[in-house]
Amino acid sequence: MDIYSKLTSKSSISQHVTLCEIEGLDALHVHHPKGSAVITLFGAHVISFKPARRKELIWMSQNADLTGKKAIRGGIPVCWPWFGKAASPSHGFARTSHWELESISDNKQRTSLTLCLKHCDKSLAIWPHKFDIRLNVDISESLSVSLTSTNTGDSEWTMGGALHTYLRTSDVKATSISGLGQQYIDSTEQGVIKPSPGHTDINTETDRIYTSAEKKLHIVDNGENRRLTMENTGNSSAVVWNPWQSLSESMADMTDEGYLQMVCVESAIHDTTIRLAPGRSHNLSTTINVD
Ligand code: TA6
């Protein structure tokens, strides 16, 4: 999907940031000399990142729903305050909430944006805790996304989540991922724990939670001769997901062939293990570089 051709400009809000609309959603278009990005306020969702003179790194489904009525398929969904089906809705409510733009800083090296989401009556009805979460997105020749969660209430709570990055690849069958550690939970087989050689190719439905992944992962797209490095912090696992053919065919917001050009590599807290006392914060981040 060429995100940039779908943007309608509304107003310039800083040297390198324009407020735009994409199919009815408000979005921030970052056009820094070192890289471009688009982030929707719905979900604080990065839907594109292109380093200057390089191809798009982020995958978006051709059939993604951009009406703000359901989670966006593709980009970097912010899954919070839990991962997957630990509770309902799946992957939490942050990815389907409206975030506020808090600040922008532009300089020669980068543009940084901070978006913010706080508890409200609607969130308290789903999850009865007071919070403040901030997503900092840094755009230069690399992309850095950092989620800081703060307990603003007066009792401890527990959280999980993920930066559920959909990476674009020229051919998933020619893509391999390394740095994954020695074992994984296989979500396609009722959570059976399996040994891993530390790397994987993707040639079938894949839904794996790697529980001893390294901080740095390498994603090699042999079809395009491109290597990405993803550096994750604050996570308890790295999740690798590709729905493959039959699951894609069953999903309204995927095209039948869409799975061939994507793989999700996620900085995750799959096990809801971060305990935050009042006033305490936790940071979960992902930085992506093209070598
Ligand atoms: O991160 C992997 C996963 O939890 C898979 O199990 C798969 O369901 C995927 O995320 C997408 O979830 P979603 O709720 O966006 O359809």
Q: Is 141 a catalytic residue?
A: no
* pLDDT, averaged across the chain: 97
Q: What pLDDT is attached to residue 291?
A: 86
Candidate from 91, 96, 262 with most ligand 1 atoms within 8 A of CB, to mutate: 91
Classify residue 12: in a domain, yes or no.
no
Classify residue 163: in a domain, yes or no.
yes
Classify residue 136: in a domain, yes or no.
yes
Q: Provide residues with CB under 6 Å of ligand 1.
A: 71, 84, 90-91, 164, 187, 207, 239, 241, 264, 266
Q: 1: pLDDT confidence band, cut at 50, 70 and 90?
A: low
Its pTM surpasses 0.75: yes
Mean pLDDT of 166-195: 98
The C-alpha atoms of residue 182 and residue 149 are separated, in whole angstroms, by 29
The C-alpha atoms of residue 7 and residue 268 are separated, in whole angstroms, by 30
Classify residue 68: in a domain, yes or no.
yes
Would you call 267 exposed, middle or buried from its count of C-beta atoms within 10 A (0-12, 13-18, 19+)? buried
pLDDT, tens digit (0-9, with 9 covering 90-100), for 40-80: 999 999 999 999 999 999 999 999 999 999 999 999 999 99
Cβ count near 27 (within 10 Å): 25
Classify residue 35: in a domain, yes or no.
no
Question: How many domains does one find in the chain?
Answer: 1
pLDDT, tens digit (0-9, with 9 covering 90-100), for 218-254: 999 999 999 999 999 999 999 999 999 999 999 999 9
CATH assignment of the domain containing 109? 2.70.98.10
Classify residue 77: in a domain, yes or no.
yes
Two structure tokens written together for 24: 């009815």
